[in-house]
Amino acid sequence: MDFRFFCDILERMYTQGLLDSKSDSSVGIEPEERLRRFQARIDAEEKIEPTDWMPDAYRRTLIRMISQHAHSEVVGMLPEGNWITRAPSLRRKAALLAKVQDEGGHGLYLYAAAETLGISREEMIEQLLAGRAKYSSIFNYPTLSWADIGAIGWLVDGAAIMNQIPLCRCSYGPYARAMIRICKEESFHQRQGYEIMLTLSRGTAQQKAMAQDALDRWWWPSLMMFGPSDKESQHSDNSLRWKIKRFSNDELRQKFVDATVPQGHHLGLAFPDPDLAYDAQPGHWRFGAINWGEFRDVLTGNGPCNRQRLQQRRAADEQGAWVREAAIAYGEKHSRRSPP
Amino acid sequence: MTEKHMPLWEVFIRSRNGLAHKHAGSVHAADATMALQAARDVYTRRGEGLSLWVVPSDAITASDPAEKDMMFEPTASKIYRHPTFYKVPDDVGNM
């Protein structure tokens, strides 16, 4: 076996059991020196792995980010799952099913990445169900028509990709590796959404109006997905210094607008922003003021679907409890009969 | 939550014939059969593999990354293990 390949496997083989080990090379070193060495590793673009020493704030930031991200994938299955039975053709239905299944898979990769930091999946899910954990606010908006499935794929997944591509280079190894996998799979999501929008835009007047209505409702919430502006954001500074994030919220938002506006014009649709204008000198699309009051409202639980989404997650958890219990009981009985 | 935790399994995938199984991630499942099914659904939705292994995570013994310098030191100092350490005249050709 190739030696580097072997090292790669060893390095990737961090399991939860290892978290209990007492491996800490920096025992006995002054806290400032430990922090300095940690930052030096980050600055040298080294990946931080689960058993490496890390500041508590780094660990907490990552647990918060990765678990929110995982919850977003899982809650994100709800608005789209709403349309599986009503997709307009078998082709659309098969694609939407595959996409929703992907979102579930992404949630699982991310829960696994967060678990390497010493929190269990059960704990994270409990935080979500108790309303203590956040998920992306975008999923608190309803999917009122089939065109919304197109708009979600094109805009929401488009914004997610813009956020996620730099996360593939995140300083925390397990998160970066999960993101690489997720990004590979997301590009189908965005393309299937854009194809839906394109078909509607080239269809009857009524179909084009549906597409326009979906763009009108999803555009601003999509811009809010990048989070508060840099002036307001509480988390950006540390996250950038630790190379958890590579770009600020406003930088990513601008990239998204620049990439998306020409795509919308290609559809022949109008963006619901009278201030949207091309600024040729730096080559950016300038957009109007975001309604941050709405953002905070949805974030604090008063969006159109916050209560419904959590109720659905709680019901799924409660109704699935007997399956999990039966599976564990079966597994235990099985292992008693045939000791390893 | 009073529920028992689902055991954790590490997933390895052989992507092509002739290649080794490579670590892909982990899944929670109550037993090996269910772990294999979960691994199939979570890690091979796009033809990523020809063969899957699942191993109980707590069955893996790993080297301690904190001791990697000592553990792997011999590979750094024994340069005579590499072919380039030995001089062969050019006119002998490739060896």
Shortest CA gap B77–chain A (Å): 15
- Set of chain A residues whose Cβ sits within 8 Å of the Cβ of B65: 11, 23, 49, 51-52
pLDDT digits (tens, 9 = 90+) for A252-263: 999 999 999 999
Query: Is pLDDT larger for residue B1 or for residue A117?
Result: A117
pLDDT at B79 over 80: yes
pLDDT digits (tens, 9 = 90+) for B30-42: 999 999 999 999 9
User: What pLDDT was estimated at residue A17?
Assistant: 37
Inter-CA distances, A314 with A126, A198, A309, A317, A319, Å: 9, 36, 9, 5, 8
Query: Is pLDDT larger for residue A224 or for residue B4?
Result: A224
User: What pLDDT was estimated at residue A30?
Assistant: 81
pLDDT digits (tens, 9 = 90+) for A128-166: 999 999 999 999 999 999 999 999 999 999 999 999 999
At CB < 8 Å, which residues of chain B contact A?
Answer: 1, 3-8, 10, 20, 22-23, 25-31, 34, 41-42, 45-46, 57-58, 60, 62-67, 75
pLDDT digits (tens, 9 = 90+) for A321-339: 999 999 999 988 887 766 5
User: What pLDDT was estimated at residue B64?
Assistant: 82
- Set of chain A residues whose Cβ sits within 8 Å of the Cβ of B64: 21, 23, 51
Query: Is pLDDT larger for residue A92 or for residue A16?
Result: A92
Nearest to A112 among B20, B25, B65 (CB): B25
Contact call for B62 and A18, based on CB within 8 A? yes
Task: Give the nearest chain B residue to A98 (CA atoms).
Answer: B45
Query: Is pLDDT larger for residue B29 or for residue A232?
Result: B29
- Asked if residue A247 lies in contact with residue A239, where contact means CB atoms within 8 angstroms, the answer is no
User: What pLDDT was estimated at residue A12?
Assistant: 40
User: What pLDDT was estimated at residue B30?
Assistant: 94
Coil, strand, or helix at residue A121?
helix
User: What pLDDT was estimated at residue B94?
Assistant: 87
Task: Give the nearest chain A residue to B31 (CA atoms).
Answer: A331
Distance CA A312, CA A308 (A): 6
How many cross-chain Cβ pairs, A to B, lie less than 8 Å apart?
95
Contact call for A9 and B5, based on CB within 8 A? no
User: What pLDDT was estimated at residue A339?
Assistant: 55
| pTM for the whole structure | 0.87
pLDDT at A53 over 70: yes
Shortest CA gap B16–chain A (Å): 15
User: What pLDDT was estimated at residue A22?
Assistant: 40
Nearest to B30 among A21, A25, A328 (CB): A328
Q: Phi and psi (nearest 5°) for A145?
A: -140, 170
Residue carrying the six token digits 């999509």? A222
ipTM of the complex, rounded to two decimals? 0.82
Q: What average pLDDT is seen over chain A? A: 89
pLDDT digits (tens, 9 = 90+) for A200-219: 999 999 999 999 999 999 99
* Sign of the dihedral through C-alpha A246, A75, A119, A126: positive
Nearest to B65 among A23, A122, A331 (CB): A23
User: What pLDDT was estimated at residue B68?
Assistant: 81
Write the CB contacts of B73 (distance below 8 Å, at least 6 apart in sequence): none
Shortest CA gap A54–chain B (Å): 13
Contact call for B58 and A334, based on CB within 8 A? no
Nearest to A49 among B41, B63, B65 (CB): B65
Contact call for A105 and B42, based on CB within 8 A? yes
Taking CA B26 as the corner, what is the angle to CA B20 and CA B30, rounded to the nearest 5 degrees? 120
